Amino acid sequence: MRSWILALFLLITSFGLRAESSNSSEPPFRLATFSADVTPPIGHMLFTGHWLLSKGVDSPLEARGFVLIPPGNEKPVVYCAVDWSEIRNDAYDRWRDVLAEAAGTVRERVLVSSVHQHDTPLADLEAERIRLAAGSPHQVIDLDFHEKAVQGVAKALRDALPSAQTVTDIGWGKGKVEKVASNRRYVLADGTIKHRRMSRSTDDETKNAEEGLIDPWLRALSFWNGDHALVVLNVYAVHPMSYYGTALAGSDFPGIARAARQEADRTTLQIYASGCSGNLAAGKYNDGDPANRQVLASRLEEGMVKAFADTKREPLKNMEFRLEKVRLEPRNDNGLSKEELEATLAKKGDAKAHGMAAIGLSWRKRADDPNYRIDLPALRFNGGDASLLLLPGEIYLEYQLAAQKMGGDNFVVTLGYGDAPAGYLPPERAWAEGDTNMNSWGWVAPGMEERMMAAIRKLLAP
C-alpha cells in the first residue's frame, strides 16, 4: 500500500514539474530599439510658425522608437517619436504603412507621434501635391525627402530586429518638473480670462500671472531585461520650444535633455515624447533668451532622472492592443471653407498663407469623406496596470488629465501629436471663452469633446 502511495506521489510530482517546465518555456516578449536621422536638407521648408526655408542645422532631428514583439502569433507593436512639427493625413499613413511592413505588423499597430518642435518640417503629402497643382512656389514638404526619411527609419527598424532582446519587466515612474510648463490660459486678479501666453513672454502680465492648469509630472514608461532598462519613454506636457523662427532646424530643449540622458546611459535608448500640450507653453518661465534653452533642458532632464529613479517594476505578463476610431468634423468658419481656402491658394501670397491653405485643403479632402475616421490606439499592460494612449493633433491638457482620472490608481501615459490634421483640439470651455488659439490653428469644429472623451473612456475601460 505504501509503495502504491509513493508511486502516485512521484507521478503527480513529475507531472507538476513537467507542467512548470512547460510554462517556463513559454516564449517571452521581445523588444528592439531603433533611431534614425530625419534632419531636412538646407533649403527645405521649416514650419516655425512662420514657414521659413532652412538655412542650416542647430541640432540634428531624430526619429526614435521601439518594436515590442509579443509571444505567440500576436503581431508586433511599434512606437516612434519624430522630431517634426506635425505629421498629417496621408503622410501619417505613409509612416505607419512603411514601419508596419518593416516590423511585420499592420498599420493600426504602429503608433507615431511628433515631438512638435517648431523649427522642423511639417509633413502633409496631399498638401504638397495641392500646392504644386496650384502653381504655388511655397513648399510644404519635399516628397522625395519625406520618402527618404521614412525609408531610413524603416531600415533602422529592420536592422534592429535581429538584436531584439527578451523583455522580463515593465516599469513606470514619474518625476516632477519645476518651472517649465505654464498654461496659455490665465486669470487676472479682476477675473479677466486671457489666452495669450506663448512659448516665450516678455511682458509682466504674462510672466507674473498664475501658472494655470498644468500636469507637473513627467511620466516614464520602461521595458527591462532583468536589471537592464532597454528603453525609457519619457513623456511631458509642454510645447517644446524655447525660441524658434531661426531658420535653423533643431530639436530645442527636449533634444538637449534627451541627449544628456542618453549620454548618462548609452545602453538604454531614451525617447522623449510630448503629452497633451496644445494649451501649454513655457512662457511664464521663458523670455526667449537663447540661454534659457539650456535652463529649460536641465529642468526637463531633472524630471527624467527623478522619474527613472521612481520606477516601479513588475513582470510583463500580457499586453492588449485597443483601437477606437473617431470622426472629427471640419470647420467652415474662420476662412476654412473649401472655397475660401482655394481662393487663398489661387492668389498671390507668402509661404505661410499658401502653406496654411494647402494643408487646410488636404484636411478638407479627407474630412469631407463621410467614411473617414482618425485612429486612437492604446496599449494596456498587465490587465491595465499601465497604459499608453495616443491622441491626435495639438490636443489640450484636459484630455490627458481626464485619461489619468479614468485610469484610477493605474499608470496612464498619454501622448499628443498623433495624426495631426485637427490642429488645436480643445474642450468646449475654450470655445465658450473665445480661446484665440483657434483663430490661427484650429481646423476642427466645436462639439468634439464628447466624442473624444467617450473614445478615451472605452480605451481605458477595465
CA dihedral 381, 405, 172, 108 (to 10 degrees): 40
For residues 298 and 295, give the distance between their C-alpha atoms in angstroms, rounded to a whole number: 5
Buried b (16+ CB within 10 A) or exposed e, 428-452: eebbeeebebbeeebbbeeebbeeb
> Number of folded domains in the chain?
1
Does 451 or 196 have the greater pLDDT score?
Answer: 451
Residue 201 pLDDT more than 60?
yes
Residue with cell 484650429: 442
Give me the residues paired with residue 222 across strands: 171, 232
Q: In the predicted model, is pLDDT for residue 95 greater than 50?
A: yes
Report pLDDT digits (tens) over 412-452: 999 999 999 999 999 999 999 999 989 989 999 999 999 99
C-alpha cell at 277: 500640450
The closest alpha carbon to 51, from 358, 445, 422, belongs to 358
DSSP state of 405: H
* C-beta separation of 409 from 432 below 8 A: no
Residue 350, in any domain of the structure: yes
pLDDT band of 2, cuts 50, 70, 90:
very low
Whether the per-residue pLDDT at 411 is higher than 90: the answer is yes
CA distance 57 to 275: 25
Instruction: With residue 228 as reference, give the H or E element that holds it.
Output: strand 228-236
pLDDT at 96: 98
- pLDDT tens digits, one per residue of 128-163: 999 999 999 999 999 999 999 999 999 999 999 999
| Whole-angstrom distance, CA of residue 122 vs CA of residue 51 | 10
Angle, vertex CA 351, rays to CA 348 and CA 353, nearest 5: 65
pLDDT band at 114 (very low <50, low <70, confident <90, very high): very high
Q: What pLDDT shows up at residue 25?
A: 60
Task: Give the model confidence (pLDDT) of 236-279 as tens digits.
Answer: 999 999 999 999 999 999 999 999 999 999 999 999 999 999 99
Residue 433 lies in a domain: yes
Please tell me what DSSP assigns to residue 282. Answer: S
Residue 11 banded pLDDT, cuts 50, 70, 90 = very low
**3-class SS at 145?**
helix
d(CA 6, CA 119): 76
Q: Which helix (H) or strand (E) holds 395?
A: strand 394-395
Q: Is residue 2 part of a domain?
A: no
Q: What is the DSSP letter of 368?
A: T
- Whether 11 is in a domain gets the answer no
Residue 367 sits at φ, ψ, to 5 deg, of -70, -25
The pTM assigned to this predicted structure is: 0.93
pLDDT for residue 26 is more than 90: no
Contact in structure between 99 and 63 (CB atoms under 8 Å): no
Judge whether 335 lies within some domain: yes
pLDDT score recorded for residue 294: 98
Q: What is the mean pLDDT of residues 311-332?
A: 97
Strand blocks (E) in 239-365: 248-249, 269-274, 280-281, 312-315, 319-326
Q: Give every CB contact of residue 252 below 8 A, 6+ residues apart in sequence.
A: 117, 118, 119, 240, 241, 242, 244, 293
Which of 16-30, 200-214, 335-349, 392-406 has the lowest average pLDDT?
A: 16-30
Residue 161 CB: number of other CB atoms within 10 A? 16
Q: How far apart are CA 204 and CA 212, in angstroms?
A: 16
Q: Is the predicted pLDDT of residue 10 greater than 50, yes or no?
A: no
Distance of CA 339 to CAs 133, 342, 351, 360, 438, Å?
Answer: 16, 5, 19, 11, 20
In which domain, by residue range, is 89 found? 29-460
What is the C-alpha separation between 417 and 85, in angstroms, rounded?
A: 9
Q: How confident is the model at residue 13 (pLDDT cuts 50, 70, 90)?
A: very low
Provide the pLDDT for residue 49: 85
Residue 7 has pLDDT above 70, yes or no: no
Strand partners, 414: 389
Q: Which of 12-16, 360-364, 393-397 has the lowest mean pLDDT?
A: 12-16
Q: What integer is the mean pLDDT of 290-305?
A: 98
pLDDT, mean over the chain: 93
List, for residues 156-168, the tens digit of each pLDDT value. Answer: 999 999 999 999 9
Q: Please give the radius of gyration of the chain, using alpha carbons only, rounded to the nearest integer.
A: 24
User: Does 229 reside within a domain?
Assistant: yes
Q: Is residue 20 assigned to a domain?
A: no
**Residue type at position 368:** D
Q: What one-letter code names the amino acid at 242?
A: S
The answer to whether position 16 is within a domain reads no
